[in-house]
Chains A and B, each alone.
Chain A
Amino acid sequence: MTAHGRTRALIFVAEHSLAIALSAMFLAPIVFLLLTSFMSNEQQLTADPWPRTWHPENYLDVFARTPMLSYTLNTVIYAVAATGLMLLASVPAAYALSKLKWRGRNAIFIAIICVMMLPPQVVTVPLYLMWASAGLTGSLWPLILPMLAGDAFSIFLLRQFLVTIPDDYVDAARVDGCGEWRTLLRVVVPIARPGIAAAAMFQFFYCWNDYYGPLLYTSENEKAWTLSLGLASFRSLHHVDWNLATAATMLTLIPVVVLFFFAQKAFVRGVTLTGVKG
Chain B
Amino acid sequence: MNRRTVYLTAAAVLLAAGCTPGTKAPTAAATAPEPTGTVEFWHQFTDRESRAIAGIVKDFEAKYPKVTVHITDGQDDDKTLQAIGAGNGPDLAQSFSTDRVGKFCSSGAWVDLKSYVDRDKVDLSKIPPTVRSYTEFRGKRCSMPFLADAYGFYYNTTMLTEAGFAGPPKTLSELTAMTKALTKRRADGTIERAGFLPQFGFYEFSPAHLAPAAGAKWFTGEGRSAIGSDPAWKELMRWQKELVDWYGYKNLAKFTASLGDEWSADHAFHKGRVAMMVDGEWRVAFLRDQAKDVSFGTAPMPVVDAQASRYGAGYVTGNIIGVAKTARNPEAAWALIRYLTTDTAAVVKLANAIKNVPTTTDALAAATELKADPQFAVFLQIFDNPASTTMPASAVGTAVEETFSQFLAKWQSGAATNMDSGLADVDRQVDQMIQLAG
Please report A residues at the B interface, Cβ cutoff 8 Å: 42-47, 126, 128-130, 132-133, 137-138, 215-216, 219-220, 222, 232-241
**Contact assessment for B85 and A129 in the assembled complex, using a CB-CB cutoff below 8 Å:** yes
Please report B residues at the A interface, Cβ cutoff 8 Å: 13, 16-17, 19-20, 44-50, 72, 74-75, 79, 82-83, 85-88, 96, 260-261, 263-266, 282, 286, 290
Q: For residue B13, which residues in chain A have a CB less than 8 angstroms away from its CB?
A: 126
**Contact assessment for B282 and A238 in the assembled complex, using a CB-CB cutoff below 8 Å:** yes
Identify which of B49, B82, B83 gathers the most chain A CB atoms within 10 Å of its CB.
Answer: B82
**Contact assessment for A219 and B88 in the assembled complex, using a CB-CB cutoff below 8 Å:** no
- Report Cα–Cα, A129/B14, bound state, in Å: 12
**Contact assessment for A233 and B264 in the assembled complex, using a CB-CB cutoff below 8 Å:** no
- Report Cα–Cα, A222/B75, bound state, in Å: 11
**Contact assessment for A45 and B48 in the assembled complex, using a CB-CB cutoff below 8 Å:** no
- Report Cα–Cα, A222/B72, bound state, in Å: 8
**Closest A residue, CB atoms, query B20:** A129
Identify which of B13, B74, B286, B290 gathers the most chain A CB atoms within 10 Å of its CB.
Answer: B74
B289 to chain A, nearest CB (A): 9
**Contact assessment for A235 and B75 in the assembled complex, using a CB-CB cutoff below 8 Å:** no
A129-B85, A133-B16, A220-B88 given as contacts; is B265 within 8 A of A239 (CB)?
Answer: no
Q: For residue A130, which residues in chain B have a CB less than 8 angstroms away from its CB?
A: 16
**Closest B residue, CB atoms, query A239:** B263
Q: For residue A240, which residues in chain B have a CB less than 8 angstroms away from its CB?
A: 263
**Closest B residue, CB atoms, query A229:** B74
**Closest B residue, CB atoms, query A222:** B72
**Contact assessment for B19 and A133 in the assembled complex, using a CB-CB cutoff below 8 Å:** yes
CB < 8 Å: which of A45, A222, A233 contacts B260? A45
Q: For residue B79, which residues in chain A have a CB less than 8 angstroms away from its CB?
A: 215-216, 219-220
**Contact assessment for A236 and B48 in the assembled complex, using a CB-CB cutoff below 8 Å:** yes
**Contact assessment for B46 and A236 in the assembled complex, using a CB-CB cutoff below 8 Å:** yes
A118 to chain B, nearest CB (A): 14
A271 to chain B, nearest CB (A): 39
**Contact assessment for B265 and A137 in the assembled complex, using a CB-CB cutoff below 8 Å:** no
Q: For residue B265, which residues in chain A have a CB less than 8 angstroms away from its CB?
A: 42-43, 46
A147 to chain B, nearest CB (A): 21
**Contact assessment for A236 and B86 in the assembled complex, using a CB-CB cutoff below 8 Å:** no
**Contact assessment for B49 and A236 in the assembled complex, using a CB-CB cutoff below 8 Å:** yes
B90 to chain A, nearest CB (A): 8
**Closest A residue, CB atoms, query B82:** A128
- Report Cα–Cα, A238/B282, bound state, in Å: 8
- Report Cα–Cα, A234/B50, bound state, in Å: 12
B317 to chain A, nearest CB (A): 12
- Report Cα–Cα, A74/B334, bound state, in Å: 35
**Closest A residue, CB atoms, query B86:** A132
- Report Cα–Cα, A219/B348, bound state, in Å: 31
Q: For residue B19, which residues in chain A have a CB less than 8 angstroms away from its CB?
A: 129, 133
Q: For residue B96, which residues in chain A have a CB less than 8 angstroms away from its CB?
A: 237
Q: For residue B45, which residues in chain A have a CB less than 8 angstroms away from its CB?
A: 236-237
**Contact assessment for B290 and A42 in the assembled complex, using a CB-CB cutoff below 8 Å:** yes
A47-B260, A220-B79, A220-B83 given as contacts; is B44 within 8 A of A237 (CB)?
Answer: yes
**Closest A residue, CB atoms, query B262:** A238
Q: For residue A237, which residues in chain B have a CB less than 8 angstroms away from its CB?
A: 44-45, 49, 96
**Contact assessment for B266 and A137 in the assembled complex, using a CB-CB cutoff below 8 Å:** no
**Closest B residue, CB atoms, query A131:** B86
B52 to chain A, nearest CB (A): 11
- Report Cα–Cα, A216/B81, bound state, in Å: 11
**Contact assessment for B86 and A235 in the assembled complex, using a CB-CB cutoff below 8 Å:** no
- Report Cα–Cα, A244/B20, bound state, in Å: 40
Q: For residue B260, which residues in chain A have a CB less than 8 angstroms away from its CB?
A: 45-47
Q: For residue B46, which residues in chain A have a CB less than 8 angstroms away from its CB?
A: 233-236
Q: What are the 5 tightest A-B residue pairs by CB atom distance, in nearest-first order? A: A132-B86, A45-B264, A236-B46, A46-B266, A42-B265
Could you list some 17 contacts between A and B, CB below 8 A?
Answer: A43-B265, A45-B261, A45-B266, A46-B260, A47-B260, A126-B13, A129-B17, A129-B86, A130-B16, A137-B86, A216-B82, A220-B88, A237-B44, A237-B49, A238-B263, A238-B282, A240-B263
- Report Cα–Cα, A215/B16, bound state, in Å: 22
Identify which of A46, A219, A241 gathers the most chain B CB atoms within 10 Å of its CB.
Answer: A219
Q: For residue A44, which residues in chain B have a CB less than 8 angstroms away from its CB?
A: 264
- Report Cα–Cα, A224/B88, bound state, in Å: 16
CB < 8 Å: which of B17, B47, B86 contacts A239? B47
**Contact assessment for A233 and B74 in the assembled complex, using a CB-CB cutoff below 8 Å:** yes
- Report Cα–Cα, A235/B75, bound state, in Å: 11
B70 to chain A, nearest CB (A): 11
Q: For residue A216, which residues in chain B have a CB less than 8 angstroms away from its CB?
A: 79, 82
- Report Cα–Cα, A218/B263, bound state, in Å: 29
B44 to chain A, nearest CB (A): 7
- Report Cα–Cα, A250/B49, bound state, in Å: 26
**Closest A residue, CB atoms, query B42:** A220
**Closest A residue, CB atoms, query B76:** A219
- Report Cα–Cα, A137/B263, bound state, in Å: 34
**Closest B residue, CB atoms, query A47:** B266
- Report Cα–Cα, A234/B74, bound state, in Å: 9
B384 to chain A, nearest CB (A): 23
- Report Cα–Cα, A224/B54, bound state, in Å: 22
